[in-house]
Amino acid sequence: MAEDTHSPPDRRTRKRVRLVLLGLLSYLMFLVPMCIAVLAGASRMGWGGVAGFTAAAVVINLVVLAAVASGWSKRFADPSLMVPQLVAAIALALAMIHFFQGEARSVLLLLFVAIFFFGLFGLTTRQYLRLTIGTAVGYAALSTWELRGGDAPTQAWLMEALRFSALVVITIWMSFIGGYLASIRRRLSKQRDALEKANAKLQELSIRDELTGLYNRRHLTERLEQESERGRRYGQGFSVALIDIDHFKAINDTHGHSVGDEVLVQFAAILRLQARFIDHVGQAPERTLGRFGGEEFMIILPGTSLAGARICLERMRAAVARAPFETSAGPVEVTFSAGLAEQQPDEAAEALLQRADEALYRAKESGRDRLEMDARTS
C-alpha cells in the first residue's frame, strides 16, 4: 500500500534521506581508484570521463534525494527507491569498467561488492538474485561486445571468463548472505515496532480503570497536580468536579455487584460522551475524565471557571437522569451528586480537591441529585 505523500517528514523519511546521502558518498569514494587508474595509464576514460562519471552520480543521487525528501517516493512499494539506486550504480560500474584494462579491470570488480553490500539496507534475497542476473548479463554483454570479431586472442576470452565467473560467484554469495542479513534487520525492526506498541499499550493500561476504561485515580491525581502547577505558574485557572452516583450501595445490595458494574460501565459511557463538549485546551476529552474510586468520578476542566463548570455538570446530570440504564436485572434509575471547585491563586491540588469533596458532601446531604459549588477564595 502506498504511503501518504503529503505527510510531513518523519523518522523513516529522514532515515531514507541519510541512506541516499550515504550512497552519494559511496559514489564519490570510487573517485579515488578512478583517479589513480587514470594517473597510472590503466584507464582509457581520462579526466573527462572521471568528470562525466562524477556528474552522472551526483545527478542520479540528487534526483533520488528530491524524490525521497519530498515524500513523492512514498507512493511506491519501496519508498527508499533502493532497487532503482542499485540498478543505476550497476549500470555506471559496467560503463566505468569498459574503460579499464588489465589488472585494473579485475580490481574494479570489487565495486559490485560495495554495490551489493549497500542492498543490506532493505533488499530481499529474490531482489538480490534479480540484480545478480542483471549484473551477469550486463557484464557478459559488455565482454562479448568488447571482444567481438574473430581476432581476439583466446587468452583474452579466458580472462573475461575468469572475471565473469568470479563476478557471478561473488554476487550470488552476496545475494544469499545479504538477503539473510536484510531479513534479520527487517525482523528486528518489526520486533522493535511491536515492542514499542506493546509498551505504549501497557502504559495506557496502567493509567486506565479496568472496568470503565476511563482514567484511573493515579492518573487523575497526576493530571490534577499538572493543572495545579500550570495554574500557579501561568495563572491559567481550572475547575474540578467530583461526582458520586446516588444510592449506589442500594443498587449493589438489591441487584448484586454484577449489576452495579453494569451501571458503572453505562454511567462512564454517558460521562465520556458528554465530556467531548467540555474540553477547552485541545486535549483528548478522556484526559479530563476518570474513575476516582468505587462509584466516584472526577472531571478536570482546564481553563474553565466555576460558572462554566456548573453548566457542563448540569448538562451531564440531565443526560444521566434521562438515560435508560438497562441491566440484566431490568431498568435502573440513576442520578448523581457533584461537588465543584475552582482553583484559587497559588492553591495546591490537595486543597482544591478537598474543597470539591466538601461541596460533594453538601450536595449529598442536601438531598442528592444536585450540584454544589465551593466558591471560597484562598
- The answer to whether 246 and 366 are in contact (CB under 8 A) is no
CA distances from 266 to 219, 249, 286 (A): 21, 17, 15
Which residues on adjacent β-strands are paired with residue 299? 241, 289
CA distances from 317 to 4, 21, 25, 60, 140 (A): 43, 61, 67, 66, 83
Note every long-range contact of 279-287, with CB atoms under 8 Å and residues 24 or more positions apart, other chains counting. Answer: 280/304, 286/214, 286/215, 287/215, 287/223
CA distances from 21 to 24, 36, 141, 285 (A): 5, 24, 31, 43
Lookup: cell for 320: 444521566
Lookup: cell for 151: 581476432
Count of all residues that appear for the chain in the document: 378
Q: What is the largest CA-CA distance in the chain?
A: 114
Catalytic center residues:
295
CA distances from 341 to 242, 279, 326 (A): 9, 17, 32
- For β-strands 371-374 and 336-342, DSSP reports them as parallel
- The answer to whether 338 and 317 are in contact (CB under 8 A) is yes
3-state secondary structure of 192: helix
Helix (H) or strand (E) holding 27: helix 11-29
Instruction: Please name which of 305, 307, 322 lies closest in space to residue 369, comparing C-alpha atoms.
Output: 322
